[in-house]
Amino acid sequence: MQLSDERIQEMKNLLEKEHGREFSWKEASDAAYNLAGLAELCLDSWQEDQRRKKKLEENPKGFILDGVGYSCFICGSGTQKDENWYDKWGIKCLICQDAINRKEIPPSLAKYKDSWYTKYDLERAFKLKGKVLNSWIKGGILKARVITNRGKGTHYTLFLIRDNKGFLPPKDMVKGHMVKEERGDDKNWYTMHPWYHFVDPWEHLKDYKIMNYMRFPEENPEEKDFFDSLNLSLSENNFDSRDPILKRKEFNNKRNKLLKELVKERGAKCQLRLLEQCGKDLVVDHMIPLSSNILNKDIHKVKAEKGKKVKAQSFGSNHKDNLLIACEKCNNHKKHRFIMKTKEGKFKIV
Protein backbone atom coordinates (compact mmCIF):
# COMPACT_ATOMS: atom_id res chain seq x y z
CA MET A 1 0.00 0.00 0.00
CA GLN A 2 1.33 3.40 -0.99
CA LEU A 3 0.11 6.65 0.57
CA SER A 4 0.36 9.91 -1.35
CA ASP A 5 2.21 12.94 0.04
CA GLU A 6 -1.15 14.66 0.15
CA ARG A 7 -2.51 12.06 2.58
CA ILE A 8 0.57 12.30 4.78
CA GLN A 9 0.31 16.09 4.82
CA GLU A 10 -3.32 15.70 5.85
CA MET A 11 -2.23 13.48 8.75
CA LYS A 12 0.48 15.99 9.71
CA ASN A 13 -2.08 18.81 9.88
CA LEU A 14 -4.46 16.69 11.92
CA LEU A 15 -1.77 15.68 14.42
CA GLU A 16 -0.49 19.24 14.82
CA LYS A 17 -3.99 20.54 15.40
CA GLU A 18 -4.77 17.78 17.90
CA HIS A 19 -1.51 18.02 19.88
CA GLY A 20 -0.64 21.69 19.48
CA ARG A 21 2.96 21.07 18.35
CA GLU A 22 4.87 20.54 15.14
CA PHE A 23 5.22 16.96 13.80
CA SER A 24 8.08 15.82 11.55
CA TRP A 25 7.34 14.30 8.14
CA LYS A 26 8.52 10.91 9.45
CA GLU A 27 6.22 11.03 12.49
CA ALA A 28 3.27 11.97 10.28
CA SER A 29 4.10 9.32 7.71
CA ASP A 30 4.47 6.58 10.39
CA ALA A 31 1.14 7.56 11.91
CA ALA A 32 -0.56 7.60 8.51
CA TYR A 33 0.76 4.14 7.58
CA ASN A 34 -0.26 2.72 10.97
CA LEU A 35 -3.75 4.05 10.56
CA ALA A 36 -4.01 2.79 7.01
CA GLY A 37 -2.81 -0.64 8.12
CA LEU A 38 -5.44 -0.73 10.81
CA ALA A 39 -8.13 0.33 8.38
CA GLU A 40 -7.06 -2.39 5.98
CA LEU A 41 -7.31 -4.96 8.75
CA CYS A 42 -10.78 -3.74 9.66
CA LEU A 43 -11.83 -3.87 6.03
CA ASP A 44 -10.45 -7.39 5.70
CA SER A 45 -12.31 -8.66 8.72
CA TRP A 46 -15.47 -6.88 7.64
CA GLN A 47 -15.26 -8.50 4.20
CA GLU A 48 -14.58 -11.87 5.82
CA ASP A 49 -17.63 -11.32 8.01
CA GLN A 50 -19.78 -10.56 4.98
CA ARG A 51 -18.52 -13.67 3.19
CA ARG A 52 -19.37 -15.82 6.23
CA LYS A 53 -22.83 -14.32 6.52
CA LYS A 54 -23.53 -15.02 2.90
CA LYS A 55 -22.32 -18.60 3.18
CA LEU A 56 -24.45 -19.00 6.30
CA GLU A 57 -27.54 -18.06 4.29
CA GLU A 58 -26.75 -20.95 1.98
CA ASN A 59 -25.84 -23.28 4.88
CA PRO A 60 -28.10 -22.24 7.74
CA LYS A 61 -26.95 -25.12 9.97
CA GLY A 62 -23.39 -23.87 9.78
CA PHE A 63 -20.14 -24.93 8.19
CA ILE A 64 -16.42 -25.40 8.80
CA LEU A 65 -14.32 -22.26 8.43
CA ASP A 66 -11.23 -22.41 6.21
CA GLY A 67 -7.81 -22.02 7.74
CA VAL A 68 -6.51 -22.13 11.30
CA GLY A 69 -6.14 -19.75 14.24
CA TYR A 70 -9.72 -19.72 15.52
CA SER A 71 -10.61 -20.14 19.14
CA CYS A 72 -13.76 -21.66 20.54
CA PHE A 73 -16.23 -19.04 21.87
CA ILE A 74 -17.11 -21.42 24.70
CA CYS A 75 -14.06 -23.27 26.01
CA GLY A 76 -11.53 -20.86 24.50
CA SER A 77 -9.26 -23.53 23.05
CA GLY A 78 -7.58 -22.92 19.72
CA THR A 79 -8.85 -25.11 16.90
CA GLN A 80 -6.85 -27.25 14.49
CA LYS A 81 -7.50 -27.20 10.75
CA ASP A 82 -11.11 -28.22 9.95
CA GLU A 83 -11.87 -28.71 13.67
CA ASN A 84 -14.25 -25.80 14.05
CA TRP A 85 -17.91 -25.18 13.46
CA TYR A 86 -19.37 -21.80 12.53
CA ASP A 87 -23.06 -20.95 12.77
CA LYS A 88 -25.24 -18.05 13.88
CA TRP A 89 -24.00 -18.46 17.46
CA GLY A 90 -20.33 -18.08 16.54
CA ILE A 91 -17.26 -20.31 16.33
CA LYS A 92 -17.08 -23.50 18.38
CA CYS A 93 -14.51 -26.26 18.67
CA LEU A 94 -15.85 -29.65 17.59
CA ILE A 95 -15.98 -30.95 21.17
CA CYS A 96 -18.16 -28.06 22.33
CA GLN A 97 -20.29 -28.31 19.17
CA ASP A 98 -20.77 -32.01 19.89
CA ALA A 99 -21.87 -31.11 23.44
CA ILE A 100 -24.41 -28.69 21.94
CA ASN A 101 -25.69 -31.35 19.55
CA ARG A 102 -26.13 -33.73 22.48
CA LYS A 103 -27.86 -30.94 24.46
CA GLU A 104 -25.32 -30.84 27.28
CA ILE A 105 -25.32 -27.07 26.82
CA PRO A 106 -27.48 -24.61 24.86
CA PRO A 107 -25.87 -23.06 21.74
CA SER A 108 -26.66 -19.54 22.96
CA LEU A 109 -23.71 -19.76 25.40
CA ALA A 110 -21.31 -19.02 22.55
CA LYS A 111 -23.02 -15.72 21.80
CA TYR A 112 -24.04 -14.61 25.29
CA LYS A 113 -20.93 -14.93 27.42
CA ASP A 114 -22.51 -13.02 30.27
CA SER A 115 -25.11 -15.73 30.79
CA TRP A 116 -22.59 -18.07 32.43
CA TYR A 117 -19.55 -18.24 34.67
CA THR A 118 -16.36 -20.15 34.02
CA LYS A 119 -14.36 -21.66 36.88
CA TYR A 120 -11.94 -18.80 36.39
CA ASP A 121 -14.79 -16.27 36.70
CA LEU A 122 -15.82 -17.84 40.03
CA GLU A 123 -12.28 -17.72 41.32
CA ARG A 124 -11.82 -14.12 40.28
CA ALA A 125 -15.17 -12.90 41.58
CA PHE A 126 -15.50 -15.01 44.75
CA LYS A 127 -12.13 -16.67 45.37
CA LEU A 128 -14.08 -19.85 44.93
CA LYS A 129 -11.99 -22.79 43.73
CA GLY A 130 -10.52 -26.20 44.44
CA LYS A 131 -11.93 -28.29 47.29
CA VAL A 132 -14.56 -25.77 48.32
CA LEU A 133 -15.88 -25.38 44.78
CA ASN A 134 -16.01 -29.17 44.37
CA SER A 135 -17.87 -29.60 47.64
CA TRP A 136 -20.42 -27.00 46.55
CA ILE A 137 -20.99 -28.83 43.29
CA LYS A 138 -21.17 -32.20 45.04
CA GLY A 139 -23.50 -30.84 47.71
CA GLY A 140 -25.84 -29.41 45.08
CA ILE A 141 -25.27 -25.83 46.21
CA LEU A 142 -23.99 -24.87 42.79
CA LYS A 143 -25.21 -26.53 39.61
CA ALA A 144 -22.47 -27.11 37.07
CA ARG A 145 -22.71 -28.07 33.40
CA VAL A 146 -20.05 -30.39 32.18
CA ILE A 147 -19.04 -30.42 28.54
CA THR A 148 -17.86 -33.98 28.09
CA ASN A 149 -15.27 -35.07 25.59
CA ARG A 150 -17.81 -36.67 23.25
CA GLY A 151 -19.62 -38.35 26.11
CA LYS A 152 -16.58 -39.20 28.22
CA GLY A 153 -14.75 -37.32 30.98
CA THR A 154 -14.70 -33.57 31.35
CA HIS A 155 -13.71 -31.17 28.58
CA TYR A 156 -14.94 -28.01 30.26
CA THR A 157 -17.07 -27.05 33.26
CA LEU A 158 -19.29 -24.00 33.37
CA PHE A 159 -22.08 -22.51 35.46
CA LEU A 160 -25.23 -21.08 33.88
CA ILE A 161 -26.83 -18.21 35.74
CA ARG A 162 -30.26 -19.56 34.84
CA ASP A 163 -29.33 -22.95 36.40
CA ASN A 164 -28.35 -21.08 39.57
CA LYS A 165 -31.14 -18.51 39.66
CA GLY A 166 -31.10 -16.28 42.74
CA PHE A 167 -27.74 -17.76 43.67
CA LEU A 168 -25.28 -16.32 41.14
CA PRO A 169 -25.57 -12.58 40.41
CA PRO A 170 -25.38 -11.07 36.91
CA LYS A 171 -21.73 -10.94 35.91
CA ASP A 172 -21.59 -7.18 35.60
CA MET A 173 -22.25 -6.92 39.36
CA VAL A 174 -18.95 -8.66 40.09
CA LYS A 175 -16.73 -7.04 37.49
CA GLY A 176 -13.37 -5.72 38.64
CA HIS A 177 -12.09 -2.26 37.86
CA MET A 178 -8.72 -0.79 36.94
CA VAL A 179 -7.26 1.45 39.62
CA LYS A 180 -4.44 3.92 39.07
CA GLU A 181 -1.52 3.18 41.30
CA GLU A 182 1.30 5.42 42.52
CA ARG A 183 4.70 3.78 42.36
CA GLY A 184 6.82 6.84 43.01
CA ASP A 185 7.56 7.51 39.34
CA ASP A 186 5.63 9.62 36.87
CA LYS A 187 4.42 6.65 34.84
CA ASN A 188 0.78 5.63 34.85
CA TRP A 189 0.38 2.23 36.49
CA TYR A 190 -2.95 0.46 36.58
CA THR A 191 -3.93 -2.65 38.50
CA MET A 192 -7.12 -4.68 38.43
CA HIS A 193 -9.06 -4.64 41.68
CA PRO A 194 -11.93 -7.04 42.44
CA TRP A 195 -15.46 -5.69 42.81
CA TYR A 196 -15.48 -6.14 46.61
CA HIS A 197 -12.80 -3.48 46.97
CA PHE A 198 -15.37 -0.88 45.96
CA VAL A 199 -18.56 -1.94 47.76
CA ASP A 200 -19.70 -3.73 50.89
CA PRO A 201 -20.02 -7.24 49.44
CA TRP A 202 -22.89 -8.30 51.69
CA GLU A 203 -24.92 -5.22 50.93
CA HIS A 204 -24.11 -5.27 47.20
CA LEU A 205 -25.15 -8.91 46.73
CA LYS A 206 -27.72 -9.23 49.49
CA ASP A 207 -30.31 -10.60 47.04
CA TYR A 208 -28.08 -13.48 45.94
CA LYS A 209 -27.86 -16.64 47.99
CA ILE A 210 -24.19 -17.16 47.26
CA MET A 211 -23.54 -14.57 49.96
CA ASN A 212 -24.96 -16.94 52.61
CA TYR A 213 -21.92 -19.12 51.94
CA MET A 214 -19.33 -16.46 51.27
CA ARG A 215 -16.52 -15.25 53.39
CA PHE A 216 -13.74 -12.98 52.18
CA PRO A 217 -11.06 -13.68 54.79
CA GLU A 218 -8.35 -11.51 53.30
CA GLU A 219 -10.88 -8.75 52.75
CA ASN A 220 -12.00 -9.26 56.28
CA PRO A 221 -9.07 -8.67 58.59
CA GLU A 222 -11.38 -8.55 61.61
CA GLU A 223 -12.62 -12.09 60.95
CA LYS A 224 -9.07 -13.28 60.51
CA ASP A 225 -8.04 -11.52 63.74
CA PHE A 226 -10.92 -13.16 65.55
CA PHE A 227 -9.92 -16.67 64.46
CA ASP A 228 -6.23 -15.98 65.14
CA SER A 229 -7.11 -14.80 68.65
CA LEU A 230 -8.65 -18.19 69.47
CA ASN A 231 -5.16 -19.71 69.55
CA LEU A 232 -6.43 -23.02 68.16
CA SER A 233 -3.88 -23.64 65.34
CA LEU A 234 -6.67 -23.67 62.78
CA SER A 235 -6.23 -24.72 59.17
CA GLU A 236 -8.61 -24.91 56.22
CA ASN A 237 -9.61 -28.36 57.55
CA ASN A 238 -11.51 -26.62 60.33
CA PHE A 239 -13.73 -24.68 57.91
CA ASP A 240 -16.51 -25.65 55.54
CA SER A 241 -18.76 -22.95 54.13
CA ARG A 242 -21.53 -25.25 52.96
CA ASP A 243 -25.09 -24.92 54.26
CA PRO A 244 -25.07 -25.79 57.99
CA ILE A 245 -28.18 -27.97 57.57
CA LEU A 246 -26.28 -30.10 55.10
CA LYS A 247 -23.23 -30.32 57.36
CA ARG A 248 -25.44 -31.23 60.34
CA LYS A 249 -27.11 -34.04 58.38
CA GLU A 250 -23.75 -35.35 57.28
CA PHE A 251 -22.52 -35.22 60.88
CA ASN A 252 -25.58 -36.97 62.32
CA ASN A 253 -25.10 -39.82 59.86
CA LYS A 254 -21.60 -40.56 61.04
CA ARG A 255 -21.39 -39.27 64.59
CA ASN A 256 -21.35 -42.74 66.19
CA LYS A 257 -18.66 -43.98 63.87
CA LEU A 258 -16.67 -40.80 64.43
CA LEU A 259 -16.90 -41.10 68.21
CA LYS A 260 -15.59 -44.68 68.07
CA GLU A 261 -12.68 -43.64 65.87
CA LEU A 262 -11.80 -40.61 67.97
CA VAL A 263 -11.89 -42.61 71.22
CA LYS A 264 -9.63 -45.22 69.64
CA GLU A 265 -7.17 -42.51 68.54
CA ARG A 266 -7.31 -40.18 71.53
CA GLY A 267 -8.57 -42.23 74.48
CA ALA A 268 -11.95 -42.26 76.22
CA LYS A 269 -11.81 -38.93 77.98
CA CYS A 270 -13.28 -35.45 77.67
CA GLN A 271 -10.96 -33.16 75.68
CA LEU A 272 -13.01 -30.04 76.34
CA ARG A 273 -12.69 -30.02 80.15
CA LEU A 274 -14.60 -26.80 80.60
CA LEU A 275 -16.04 -27.94 83.95
CA GLU A 276 -14.39 -29.07 87.16
CA GLN A 277 -16.26 -32.36 87.14
CA CYS A 278 -16.64 -34.06 83.77
CA GLY A 279 -19.44 -36.49 83.11
CA LYS A 280 -19.11 -40.10 81.97
CA ASP A 281 -21.04 -40.08 78.68
CA LEU A 282 -18.98 -38.98 75.71
CA VAL A 283 -20.10 -37.18 72.55
CA VAL A 284 -18.43 -35.50 69.57
CA ASP A 285 -18.10 -31.73 69.69
CA HIS A 286 -17.20 -29.18 66.98
CA MET A 287 -14.23 -26.99 67.91
CA ILE A 288 -15.34 -24.31 65.42
CA PRO A 289 -19.15 -24.46 65.47
CA LEU A 290 -20.90 -25.47 62.25
CA SER A 291 -22.59 -22.08 62.21
CA SER A 292 -22.77 -18.95 64.31
CA ASN A 293 -24.12 -15.42 64.08
CA ILE A 294 -21.59 -13.98 66.55
CA LEU A 295 -19.29 -12.54 63.88
CA ASN A 296 -22.23 -11.11 61.96
CA LYS A 297 -23.40 -9.44 65.16
CA ASP A 298 -20.10 -8.26 66.59
CA ILE A 299 -17.91 -7.69 63.55
CA HIS A 300 -20.11 -7.18 60.50
CA LYS A 301 -22.75 -5.32 62.55
CA VAL A 302 -25.54 -7.05 60.68
CA LYS A 303 -28.97 -5.95 61.87
CA ALA A 304 -31.66 -8.56 62.45
CA GLU A 305 -34.83 -8.45 60.39
CA LYS A 306 -37.95 -7.75 62.44
CA GLY A 307 -38.81 -10.64 64.75
CA LYS A 308 -35.82 -12.67 63.60
CA LYS A 309 -32.36 -13.44 64.88
CA VAL A 310 -29.27 -12.08 63.15
CA LYS A 311 -28.43 -14.37 60.23
CA ALA A 312 -25.86 -17.09 61.01
CA GLN A 313 -22.75 -17.74 58.94
CA SER A 314 -21.47 -21.19 58.12
CA PHE A 315 -18.09 -21.91 59.71
CA GLY A 316 -16.95 -25.28 61.09
CA SER A 317 -16.32 -28.55 59.27
CA ASN A 318 -16.91 -32.19 60.14
CA HIS A 319 -13.21 -32.88 59.57
CA LYS A 320 -11.53 -34.70 62.47
CA ASP A 321 -9.21 -31.72 62.95
CA ASN A 322 -12.33 -29.80 63.92
CA LEU A 323 -13.74 -32.44 66.26
CA LEU A 324 -13.21 -32.97 69.97
CA ILE A 325 -14.31 -35.72 72.32
CA ALA A 326 -16.42 -34.08 75.00
CA CYS A 327 -18.38 -35.29 77.97
CA GLU A 328 -22.06 -34.48 77.71
CA LYS A 329 -21.81 -32.03 80.61
CA CYS A 330 -19.06 -29.92 79.00
CA ASN A 331 -20.77 -30.19 75.63
CA ASN A 332 -24.07 -28.90 77.05
CA HIS A 333 -22.26 -26.14 78.84
CA LYS A 334 -20.49 -24.97 75.67
CA LYS A 335 -23.60 -25.01 73.43
CA HIS A 336 -22.87 -23.33 70.07
CA ARG A 337 -20.30 -20.93 71.38
CA PHE A 338 -16.71 -20.45 70.28
CA ILE A 339 -13.89 -21.69 72.45
CA MET A 340 -10.28 -20.54 72.68
CA LYS A 341 -7.10 -21.99 74.13
CA THR A 342 -5.47 -20.23 77.07
CA LYS A 343 -1.71 -19.88 77.57
CA GLU A 344 -1.90 -22.93 79.87
CA GLY A 345 -3.38 -24.94 77.01
CA LYS A 346 -6.87 -25.17 78.46
CA PHE A 347 -10.10 -24.50 76.60
CA LYS A 348 -12.20 -21.54 77.60
CA ILE A 349 -15.48 -20.19 76.24
CA VAL A 350 -15.10 -16.93 74.31
- Judged by the rule CB under 5 A, the positions of this chain that interact with Zn ion are 72, 74-75, 93, 96, 270, 278, 327, 330
Whole-Å CA distances, 232 to 34, 95, 215: 63, 49, 20
Q: Strand pairing of 323-327 and 282-286? A: antiparallel
Task: Kindly tell me which of 98 and 243 has the beta carbon lying closer to Zn ion.
Answer: 98
Give Cβ neighbours of residue 32 (< 8 Å, ≥ 6 apart). 3, 7, 8, 10, 11
CA-CA distance, 78 to 118, in Å (whole number)? Answer: 17
Task: Kindly tell me which of 93 and 205 has the beta carbon lying closer to Zn ion.
Answer: 93
Task: Kindly tell me which of 224 and 346 has the beta carbon lying closer to Zn ion.
Answer: 346
Minimum CB distance to Zn ion, residue 312 (Å)? 25
Minimum CB distance to Zn ion, residue 259 (Å)? 14
The full DSSP string for 317-344 is --SGGGEEEEEHHHHHHHTT--EEE-TT
Minimum CB distance to Zn ion, residue 97 (Å)? 8
Minimum CB distance to Zn ion, residue 92 (Å)? 6
Minimum CB distance to Zn ion, residue 288 (Å)? 18
Task: Kindly tell me which of 85 and 227 has the beta carbon lying closer to Zn ion.
Answer: 85
Task: Kindly tell me which of 230 and 278 has the beta carbon lying closer to Zn ion.
Answer: 278
Determine the distance from the C-alpha atom of residue 331 to the mean position of all C-alpha atoms in its chain, rounded to a whole number: 37
CA-CA distance, 338 to 238, in Å (whole number)? Answer: 13
Minimum CB distance to Zn ion, residue 297 (Å)? 28
Task: Kindly tell me which of 12 and 155 has the beta carbon lying closer to Zn ion.
Answer: 155
Asked if 75 and 93 touch (Cβ cutoff 8 Å), the reply is: yes
Minimum CB distance to Zn ion, residue 284 (Å)? 13
Task: Kindly tell me which of 246 and 259 has the beta carbon lying closer to Zn ion.
Answer: 259
Whole-Å CA distances, 103 to 89, 169, 191, 287: 15, 24, 40, 46
Minimum CB distance to Zn ion, residue 266 (Å)? 13
Eight-state DSSP code of residue 7: H
Task: Kindly tell me which of 142 and 325 has the beta carbon lying closer to Zn ion.
Answer: 325
The full DSSP string for 96-164 is HHHHHHTTSS-GGGGT-GGGEEEHHHHHHHH---HHHHHHHHHTTSS--EEEEETTEEEEEEEEETGGG
Buried b (16+ CB within 10 A) or exposed e, 268-287: eebbbebeeebeeebbbbbb
